[in-house]
Amino acid sequence: MPILVMKFGGTSVANLDRIRRAAKRVGLEVAKGYDVIVIVSAMSGKTNELVGWVNETSPLYDAREYDAVVSSGENVTAGLMALTLQEMDVPARSWQGWQVPLKTTSAHGQARIEEIPTDNLMDKFGEGMRVAVVAGFQGISPEGRITTLGRGGSDTTAVAFAAAFDAERCDIYTDVDGVYTTDPRISDKARKLDKIAFEEMLELASLGAKVLQTRSVELAMRYNVKLRVLSSFEEPSDEAGTLVCDEEEIMEDKVVSGVAYSRDEAKMTLVSVEDRPGIAASIFGPLADAGINVDMIVQNISDEGTTDMTFSCPTDQVARAEKALNDAKAAGTIGFEEIIADTNVAKISVVGIGMRSQPGVAAKMFKVLSNEGINIKVIATSEIKISVLIDRKYMELAVQALHDAFELEKAA
């Protein structure tokens, strides 16, 4: 039988009623003749609660024990979903990551998938199981320890299973009915996109859009997985949601496809760093070793042999970044006067594959922000995106102004 992968996010399985609703959707697909692999997240809010307990217990925690704690939420959901399906007379069984097994690297908290052997699940499908409910977000390291794939990792789990099992498609069920030009909670003019290119979705995901995890889009693009984002709260329909696909399948020709934002950003500056060859490697090497996700980087003009180095990172990694840099300073690897951390910034980005051939997007973006009295602190660009750091208090104003200026409420 053909295989379908269905992933349900935290809001879609937030309580028993919603689990029953999701299970009914699974039952409809089974009735169509599919063997279904269901990937589930933890119930809404549960992972944050578990992370909070870890941080309260040990601020500089052992990442292996962090994974042991925070992966437990998905196990609960998987078992409840399997039980619900069984009550519907659908042959179902729950699977934790180590039981599949979903094999990963040893990078706890940010593990990468290395292999998903298909024998176990395929044998059970052959024996009459119709639904395998798999706990998302988790796997097993070569050392036999539980690992997690990073926040939002259930998306990556789903796409990886779709690729490994050559699924007909991968449906990602969430609390929104597709991918929008921006967050509808900020702009009531936000428009749902019927299709979006892999590259655009990858940029939006990496820039703060919460619809899909970045690595899930990377995997879908690499293995050409048919990926659909849709709501678990709307009636089933073949036209529902947004299709994430190759650029060649996109009919619209908008220069900018969307405006993304991230409010959980921090701007960190190392003051009076020695300006010499290799200094950047000496700074960002320890940050990489500490697992800091550095994004925008700016180096100021050298002044009498020293320079300032500025970069952005998530706010929850500031303390870890400060420790890594101070340790490097104590070891004599780098020298600087002080670290200045500004945790009251937000990142705003415009994204679109049309930017490759259309000049003037940056100028228009900067003029719009200037007209609203918004100062730009840092700028970063790529072929299809422009990002800026601004004061967080102006975040919603900036998103609305840019969405209006690029007329994203209108289809091409």
- DSSP string over 251-307: ----S--EEEEEEEEEEEEEEEEE-STTHHHHHHHHHHHTT-----EEEPPPBTTEE
What b/e string do you get for 91-105 counting C-beta neighbours within 10 Å, with b at 16 or more?
ebbbbbbbebbbbbe
Q: Is 8 annotated as a binding residue?
A: yes
Q: Is 7 annotated as a binding residue?
A: yes
**Helix or strand or coil: residue 218?**
helix
Token digits of residue 173: 């069920």
- DSSP string over 99-162: GTT-EE-S-TTS--EEE---HHHHHHHHTT--EEEEETTEEE-TTS-EEE--TTHHHHHHHHHH
Q: Is 10 annotated as a binding residue?
A: yes
Q: Is 47 annotated as a binding residue?
A: yes
Q: Is 180 annotated as a binding residue?
A: yes
Q: Is 57 annotated as a binding residue?
A: no
Q: Is 185 annotated as a binding residue?
A: yes
Closest CA to 92 of 160, 159, 40, 168: 40
Using the Cα atoms of residue 248, residue 254, residue 256 and residue 258 in order, give the sign of their dihedral.
negative
Q: Is 226 annotated as a binding residue?
A: no
Token digits of residue 321: 């970044």
What's the rounded Cα separation, in Å, for the pair 276 and 73?
48
H/E segment holding residue 170: strand 170-174
What's the rounded Cα separation, in Å, for the pair 120 and 118?
6
Q: Is 66 annotated as a binding residue?
A: no
Long-range (24+ apart) CB contacts under 8 A made by 65-69 are 66/108, 66/109, 66/148, 67/108, 67/109, 67/138, 67/145, 67/146, 67/147, 67/148, 68/145, 68/146
With beta carbons less than 8 A apart as the criterion, state whether 324 and 290 touch.
yes
With beta carbons less than 8 A apart as the criterion, state whether 270 and 216 touch.
no
What's the rounded Cα separation, in Å, for the pair 64 and 61?
9
Token digits of residue 4: 């379908």
- Mark the binding-site residues for substrate, compressed into ranges: 47, 74
- Mark the binding-site residues for ATP, compressed into ranges: 7-10, 174-175, 180, 185, 210-211
- Mark the binding-site residues, compressed into ranges: 7-10, 47, 74, 174-175, 180, 185, 210-211
